Structure 1
Amino acid sequence: MKPFLLLLRFFVTTALLLPLTTYAQDNYKIQGTVKDNRGEPLIGASVSVDGTGLHEITNEKGQFTLTVPRQSRYAVNVQHIGFKRVTQSVSFAIIGNPLTFTLQEDQTQLSEVQVTGRTETQQAKLQPIKAEIINTKAVQEQPSTLVELMNRSAGIRIRQTGGLGSSAGLMMNGFQDRAIKNFKDGIPMDYLGAGYNIGLVPVNMLERVEVYKGVLPTGLGADALGGAVNLVTKKSLYRYAEASYEIASFNTHRGSLNGLYTDTTRLFFIGADAFVNRSDNDYKVDVTVTDHETAARSEATVRLFHNKFTNYYAEAYGGLTGLRWADELRVGVTWFRINRQNQYGSSMSQPFGAALSRQYSVIPTLRYRKAFNRLSLDQFLTVSDIHTQQVDTARGTYDWYGNFIPSPSRLGEITTNGSLSDITFSYFTSRTHVGYQINDAHKAEINFVSTIIGRDGRDPRGLKLPETGQDILSLPAKYNKLVGAAGLQSVFWNEKLTNNFIVKYYYYNTATINVDVYGTALGEHRYASNSSFGIAEALKFALTPATFFRVSAEAATRLPEQDEMFGDGNFHRSNFLLKPEKSVNINAGFRTEKRNAYNLEVNAFYRITRDLILKMPIDFLFTQNQNVSNVKGLGLETDLSVNFAHWLRANGNFTYQDFRVFDTGNRLTEKARLRNTPYFFSNLGLNANLDRIAGNGRLQLYYYFTFVREYYLDYIPKSLEPDGFLGLWGKAKFEAPNIIPSQALHSLGFTYNPVNDQFAIGFQAKNIFNTNVYDNFRIQNAGRSFHLKVNYTLK
């Protein structure tokens, strides 16, 4: 009887509990969307349920789903940085119905977050190594170019030899052109040729621009003297697509498209960036016109007629993230093409009406990154061929009015023999960075950049060897370079003192046929190699988290670049006799800020350089890089930004630099200012942000002013400089085209977001008073222009 009763108890108990167990195992879901007070989805909001331990983060659409056990009522908590926390009671009766949570901004919380946490941009500004951070995200809706943004920064001038697509050279703290290295996401940009540079890339493509002055971080590890520019591309954890289109004066069109797709696990990603730049560049210029019948010369204002530029760029990439063996494995393919009409050479002395140049390439890249506890590895590889073509076959010349003057004895308009050059530059670039966190106070890094470049080509109308008549471009030219850096970053005294110590090694060798300054093939083979070491120290001492001093010093070497030695196959001559330039650089600065009120930065610098490599015109057609034996000087720059109200902000800066040649052996040029180099320039900006315009619209109004003091195309005796204090006012004691006049430029614009940040319309009037603008080598740039831009982002 007893076994029977036990068996009966078992079946009764099972019968009673089974429905409850089955009921408890059913899945009940709380799902919904989190939005801000404008109705925009909030990505990354935290959603939790009291008493369950359940937690979820909203996706790119602001959505969440939580699987919960059965209860009569649930307390759902939603919070996000910068917003007030919301708790909502949800009854079991409405389980499964979509819920909507709306969060209100919390200004107090925002202030607390800004004090305790910093963005990557803010962190970069606070490093011992001086960095100017240009926040492109803040102005990406404006029809502004990256050149304009950088020119508004202290200590920086971008000089262009014409309109959109013209050569853009960077000058910073007394150094210029290739003495300042360009990087894309920490990788030297040489492998991208002319397809991706500061004159072409839209601001929409970038997260920010890091401009390092003087000493470079170990992770960049290049042979720069004056600093570096690192273009940091956009990064996102979420899917998005963004498009922009700009139309402007001189039949200018600029478009960009970029997007990213990630799977729900974020282990896989694929994306693309593309942009196009096109302009007729047919603005008016003041030139000297020569009558081809009487040879009489007269001044005239004409419109450029053979100055079109078109550039296409596209990059597709994909990869894996968050794996045990890789934090990121990324593969990319880049394609670009440039078509350029050549209106003039190194100066505006002679017009052209038919000469063309082209450049194109397809470039594969590979990047691998992984952090192993204390050890981190970052490896980049690329192999590419960049093709450059020059077409000059007009049998005659053009005047500034576009009239063709036949000359049967000529085979080209630029040179008598003309050109049909087709040159291939082959690139192999490897960059290896290894970091090791020794302890909380010390981090060691090593960085190696290896570059192998070759040049091969042909030009049936080009230079020939004097003895054999062989095309000089058909003879291979080789260039190999290695730059290594090892650094130690240390922090002391509760992070009040930060120190960076860096040692560098430089090596290069080259082999080719020598050409003289006039472009004549000399016939002899030129072999050159050089190696040296450098050392750098950067120190920062913080009085408070927002107030600090920093100082850096460096003994550096800058190796000649391949385009400086080989030329560019266009208007830039080769020079295989270039020597490396060596420099001692010292920087000292002070920075302070009061959150939401002001920030002030003052920086001074001193340079003494031997064999400075300077790009200069050798006649009215061609330029060439040459060594300037001895240059020294000092400078001062200041930058101030003030918030007058939460909606109104002003900023201004100025730069003065006095760089002069010495020990020249020439009484007239001794202590003369460095040629073709501005010595004083300043900027002023005013921004107003107005909310609640026509509903939920937002309007930004802005004004920019830029001033550049007159400077000189060539060396002039110091006795002929203006008598005013530091040469800042007064007139030079001569009148000649050698003077690049003072320039004051004013620009006005606005950006309007009708509903939210997804769609924006931007308008800007540049150089509103139509001032004559003269830039590098006194080439005249465009006058007044109008720009309209629309921007749309889908997240």
Structure 2
Amino acid sequence: MSKRFLILFLFLISQFCLAQSPLSVWNGSVKGAKGNALAGATVSIVELKKFTTTNSAGSFEFTGIPEGTYHIQVTHVGYTTALKDVQSTGQKRVRLNLVLQEEARELTEVQVRGKSETQQAKETPIKAEVINTKAVQEQPSTLVELMNRSAGIRIRQTGGLGSNAGLMMNGFQDRAIKNFKDGIPLDYLGAGYNIALVPVNMLERVEIYKGVLPAGLGADALGGAVNMVTKKSLYRYAEASYEMASFNTHRASLNVLYTDTTRKFFLGADAFVNRSDNNYRVDVTVTDLETAARSPATVRLFHNRFTNYYAEAYGGFANTRWADELRLGVTWFRIDRQNQYGSTMSQPFGASVSQQYSVIPTLRYRKAFRKLSLDQFLTTSTIHVQQIDTARGVYDWYGNFRPSPSRTGETSTRGSLSDIDFSYFTSRSNLAYQLDDRNKLELNVVSAKLVRRGRDPLGLTFKNGTDILEPAAHYTKLITALGLESKWLEEKLATNLIVKYYHSNVDATDTDYYGTVIPRSETSNRWGMAGAAKLSLGANAFVRASAEVATRLPEQDELFGDGNFHIANFELKPERSTNFNLGFRTEKPGRYSFELNSFYRITRDLILRVPVNIFFTQNQNVNNVKGLGVEADATVSLTHWLRANGNFTWQDFRLFDTGNRTTEGARLRNTPYFFANLGLNATLPRLFAGHDRLNLYYYFMFVREYYLDYIPKSLEPPGFLGLWGKAQFNAPNIIPNQQLHSMGLTYNPVNDRLSVGLQVKNIFDSPVFDNFRIQNAGRSVHFKVNYILK
């Protein structure tokens, strides 16, 4: 019976298949009247609602076409639309060769007017400084240097390549300015992706928001934010760069993107590596290990090597009916660091090392409907941080080692073998709804959860012997922002109104010196408001103003430490600030631009990173800080080939209501109050050949002296606004005036795809001091090669 049933089933299937109309394959080409292949032409079968686009050879193909007569329609920009009747009568293949005629239209004049994304970002109601990294990607310059050339911004590093970089902007610093990658908070990537490491070749631009943040970023920042926008393309491409420099420094990057001919499927990868011995010379005080005598000396750093690797692979779908973009990514990074010193350069280390690594999956989905758009991002990660310090003795600045049986480490007497896991879960949801032509409503929700677990067999313990890192420490944050963007007066006036809600919860266990268990549990709920407006004064001039009452929740590394030289402080309070900004901008495209901005801040419980001893730093609250500032930025085209730019920033942030006569009215510690930049850029096309180009540039940076700690106001320089004269004391507490000259060139021998760059930084080898008076590298020479395969 089973055999008969099988035979009957196969017979019915065969008859059914024979009864169906045969399906055919249609393929062909689209060409112009002159025989040129037309790539990107749209070919559609009207009745079946099927369409495709031609590839670079002008070819196309349809499959599964049933018998019948159909209309084929072909369109292409600059050509007349073609419509052809095609009949399919059972053939397996149908070949179509289609020819389009050029449109015969006479245009007396064509004017294309538009603004790039960079220009649009500069002209939003919310103040944004935009660094066009594409314009300088051929230079062997770091992102830190590019940002330091901008008005109102200072990046302070605790050493050479790979050292901790703290951003200071309009009086706020460090984590008060949030970092983003394509609009997503960067906490989940730890130290693997930041402004000190990312090559400029990886980025389209950098958006720096000052004061109020757009609702789309929706973070709990006070002083602003840095949004690193990665490169995007509709086409396949590959780009590679390699840089070598003084101090055995090597930097390389690679960007690759593949898309299919319909541009609906994509695969890509971004990778970079940074490596440097950082063995530059510094001026230090040397302590003789035998006699304990102290004397000044200039030495070369010997235990300061830094290496990091970063790779991200991604893929997904775009421009489909169900998604504008669905992107899956996996990121891997690793950092290996030799520790030459701690929070200051008072004592060297010769064996301490730290490591950090992680593998991080990400998911992003975006879809725009008629009036509603959705953008959802999810990630989970565990970042492993290790600190190894087991040297039984101490080193001097010459690399000599003195054993000490009473020590099990050099950074502390007990040493360290810490291994800490920081586990993150981050969700960012964004909904935007276009109410009408003039109003858009936007909701942004960022939810983050952090868990810290670890162990250190050499570290502190509770009285019962339990490692203090073993109990899990939990930290959750929720930041919700609701914003309304509006346009008025025939779009001459643009406004942003934003309401924010902040929620946080800390649940951790701490200990005192004696090992006593101290539970830490605190919940915070706060509200904030912000508003911004821009009024156009003409085609190329406008004024804008913004105000904000905001809260910043402590970041996880501020609460829990970083597992290395930054220690925990579970008692940190959220900082609160009231901010005002007023600015004016005007320009004549191709000739000049000028911008003037002012700001005023009142901050309570400001979170400040300070040294607690010669090795370690900690974030602490500063009760009351207020101040004001002004910044100006100008660019002018001196000739068609020579452009000059310059900017300056003056800011005056001081303590108030301290209850202490010495510190009342004192400047905020470790904070520059005046700095300026000048630059010249020359472009010389067709210098040696028909398509070559030479670019020459020169940059000058000046930072006025400032002070590591609080000093009485009466001891400050007597000159106007403190801009000249000397402080009325002489001590290592002063970070002296700094002047830095750099110059370089880039050369494109054939076209924009290949470039070579050479730059000399700190030409006169001037002493350069940065955060906590740590000395940075002197003169260095950098060479870079960049190649783009389109």
TM-score, normalised via structure 2 length: 0.88
Give the aligned partner of residue 357 of structure 1.
354
Q: Tell me the CA shift for residue 56 of structure 1.
A: 12
Mapped to 2, the partners of 1:545 and 1:127 lie a distance apart of 14
Work out which of the residue numbers 476, 479, 484 in structure 1 matches 2:480.
484
Structure 2 residue aligned with 1:769? 764
Q: Are residues 458 and 694 of structure 1, via their aligned partners in 2, closer, same or farther at CA, if it must alter by over 3 Å?
A: same
1:20 corresponding residue in structure 2:
none
Q: Distance in 1 between matches of 2:778 and 2:273?
A: 23
Counterpart in 1 of 2:570? Answer: 576
Distance 1:430 1:122 in 2: 30
1:628 counterpart SS class: strand
Alpha-carbon separation, structure 1, partners of 2:28 and 2:383? 63
SS for the counterpart of 2:256 is strand
Structure-1 residue corresponding to 2:439: 442
User: For 1:169-180, what aligned pairs fall within 5 Å after superposition?
Assistant: 169-180=166-177
**What is residue 491 of structure 2 aligned with on the other side?**
495
Partners of 2:34 and 2:60 lie apart in 1 by 9
- What residue number does 1:190 align with? 187
Q: Is the 8 A contact 2:531 2:548 kept in 1?
A: yes
How far is the alpha carbon of 1:463 from its aligned partner?
Answer: 1.2
Matched, 1:400 2:397: yes
Structure 1 residues 45, 568: closer, same or farther in 2, change over 3 A?
same
Task: Identify unmatched segments of 5+ residues in structure 1.
Answer: 1-24, 36-41, 48-54, 68-75, 81-94
Residue of structure 1 in register with 2:465 after alignment: 469
Distance 2:635 2:393 in 1: 55
Letter in 2 for 1:307: N
Alpha-carbon distance in structure 1 between the residues aligned to 2:36 and 2:621? 62
How far off its partner does 1:646 sit? 2.1
Instruction: Check 1:34–1:777 CA distance in 2 against 1; reply closer, same or farther (3 A cut).
Output: farther
1:294 matched to 2:291? The reply is yes
Distance 2:758 2:98 in 1: 45
Structure 1 CA distance for aligned equivalents of residues 300 and 744 of structure 2:
26
Distance 2:249 2:198 in 1: 15
Measure the CA separation in 1 of the matches of 2:557 and 2:396.
Answer: 31
Question: What residue in structure 2 maps to residue 86 of structure 1?
Answer: none
Residues 297, 793 of structure 1: CA spacing in aligned structure 2 closer, same or farther, 3 A cutoff? same
Q: Residues 31 and 58 of structure 2 are in contact (CA less than 8 Å); yes or no, is this contact kept in structure 1? A: no
1:413 maps to amino acid:
E
Give distance in 1, aligned partners of 2:138 and 2:348. 37
Q: SS of the counterpart of 1:693?
A: coil
The alpha-carbon distance between structure 1 residues 323 and 741, as it changes in their structure 2 partners (threshold 3 A), is same
Other-structure match for 1:248: 245
- Offset of residue 46 of structure 1: 12
Aligned partners of 1:171, 1:421: CA distance in 2, in Å? Answer: 31
| Corresponding letter in the other structure for 1:173 | N
Q: Please report how far the alpha carbon of residue 513 of structure 1 lies from its aligned counterpart in structure 2 after TM superposition.
A: 1.6
Q: State yes or no: 1:507 paired with 2:532.
A: no
Instruction: Please point out which of 779, 782, 785 is paired with 2:780.
Output: 785
1:532 pairs with 2:529: no
Of residues 716, 741, 752 in structure 1, which corresponds to 2:711?
A: 716
Distance verdict in 2 for CA 1:417–1:650, change over 3 Å: same
Cα deviations across residues 309-351 of structure 1 (Å, max 9, x unaligned)?
0000000000001111111000000000000000000000000
Q: Deviations over 1:93-121 (max 9, x none)?
A: xx99999x9xxxx9x96xx43xx201111
Residue 553 to residue 598, structure 1, CA distance change in 2 (3 Å)? same
Per-residue CA distance 1:165-209 (angstroms, 9 max, x = gap): 000000000000000000000000000000000000000000000
What is the match of residue 374 of structure 2? 377
Structure 2 residue ranges without an equivalent (≥5): 1-26, 44-50, 62-74, 80-95
2:612 alignment counterpart: 618
Structure 2 Cα separation of the partners of residues 494 and 623 of structure 1:
53
What amino acid is the match of 1:781?
N
Question: Aligned to 1:608, which of 592, 602, 605?
Answer: 602
Given candidates 676, 699, 713, the residue that maps to 1:704 is: 699
Q: Contact (CA 8 Å) 2:52, 2:262: kept in 1 or not? A: no
SS in structure 1 opposite 2:721?
helix
Shift of 1:66: 10
Paired with 1:32 and 1:426, the residues of 2 have a C-alpha distance of 62
Counting only pairs closer than 5 Å after superposition, residues 183-332 of structure 1 correspond to structure 2 as: 183-332=180-329
CA contact (8 A) 1:31 1:66 kept: no
Between the aligned partners of 1:306 and 1:27, the Cα distance in structure 2 is 64
Amino acid of the structure 2 residue aligned with 1:751: T
Q: Is the contact between residue 53 and residue 60 of structure 2 (CA under 8 Å) also seen in structure 1?
A: no
2 CA distance for matches of 1:29 and 1:484? 54
Q: Is the 8 A contact 2:581 2:597 kept in 1?
A: yes
SS at match of 1:574: coil
Task: Please tell me whether residue 557 in structure 1 is matched to residue 554 in structure 2.
Answer: no
CA distance in 1, matches of 2:656, 2:626: 8
Give the residue type in structure 2 aligned to 1:547.
A
Aligned length: 721
Letter of the structure 1 residue corresponding to residue 464 of structure 2:
T
Query: How far apart are the structure 1 equivalents of 2:582 and 2:515?
Result: 47
Q: What is the letter of the counterpart of residue 679 of structure 1?
A: Y
Distance change in 2, residues 1:160/1:724 (3 Å) = same
Contact 1:571 1:622 (8 Å CA) reproduced: yes
Q: Deviations over 1:240-260 (max 9, x none)?
A: 000000000000000000110
Structure 1 counterpart SS, 2:557: helix
Counterpart CA distance in 1 for 2:135 and 2:347 is 42
Does residue 585 (structure 1) correspond to residue 579 (structure 2)? The answer is yes
The corresponding residue for 2:138 is 141
Distance 1:681 1:636 in 2: 11
Is 1:515–1:575's contact at 8 Å kept on the other side of the alignment? Answer: no
Q: CA deviation at 1:77?
A: 11
Does the CA contact (< 8 Å) of 1:195 and 1:313 recur in 2? yes
Per the alignment, residue 38 of structure 1 pairs with none
1:152 is aligned to 149
Q: Which amino acid aligns with 1:748?
A: M
Shift of 1:475: 0.8
- Against the structure 1 CA distance between its residues 596 and 290, is the aligned structure 2 distance closer, same or farther, given a 3 Å change threshold? same
* Inter-partner Cα distance in structure 2 for 1:521 and 1:166: 33
> Given residue 329 of structure 2, which amino acid in structure 1 is its aligned partner?
G
Identity over aligned pairs, percent: 70
CA separation in 2, counterparts of 1:453 and 1:586? 33
Corresponding residue for residue 640 of structure 1: 634
Match of 1:693 in 2: 687
3-state SS, counterpart of residue 402 of structure 1: coil
Matched, 1:164 2:161: yes
- The 8 Å contact of residues 41 and 76 in structure 2, kept in 1 or not, is answered as no
Residue 122 (structure 1) shift: 0.7
Q: 8 Å contact 1:30–1:66 — kept in the other structure?
A: no
Deviations 1:275-305, CA, capped at 9 Å, x for gaps: 0000000000000001111111100000000
Aligned match of 2:661: 667
Q: Match of 1:730? A: 725
Alpha-carbon distance between aligned partners in 2 of 1:340 and 1:362, rounded to the nearest angstrom: 19
Q: In the alignment, residue 670 of structure 1 is paired with which amino acid?
A: E
Task: Specify the code of the residue in structure 1 equivalent to 2:506.
Answer: T
Hey, what does 1:85 align to over in structure 2?
A: none
State the one-letter code of the partner of 1:486.
Answer: L
Please list every run of at least 4 consecutive aligned residues from structure 1 whose deviation after the TM superposition is greater than 2 angstroms.
Answer: 25-35, 42-47, 55-59, 63-67, 76-80, 95-99, 519-522
Question: 1:514: how far off?
Answer: 2.3
1:79 to partner: Cα distance: 6.9
Q: What is the CA-CA distance between 1:57 and the residue it aligns to?
A: 9.2
Q: Which amino acid aligns with 1:574?
A: A
Structure 1 residues 412 and 28, CA gap change in structure 2 (3 angstroms): closer
* CA distance in structure 1 between the partners assigned to 2:298 and 2:28 by the alignment: 83
1:657 maps to amino acid: Q
> Which residue does 1:11 correspond to in 2?
none
Contact 2:342 2:616 (C-alpha < 8 Å) held by counterparts = yes
Task: Report the secondary structure of 1:137's partner residue.
Answer: helix
Q: 1:33–1:64: 8 Å Cα contact kept in structure 2?
A: no
8 Å Cα contact 2:762-2:780 kept in structure 1 = yes
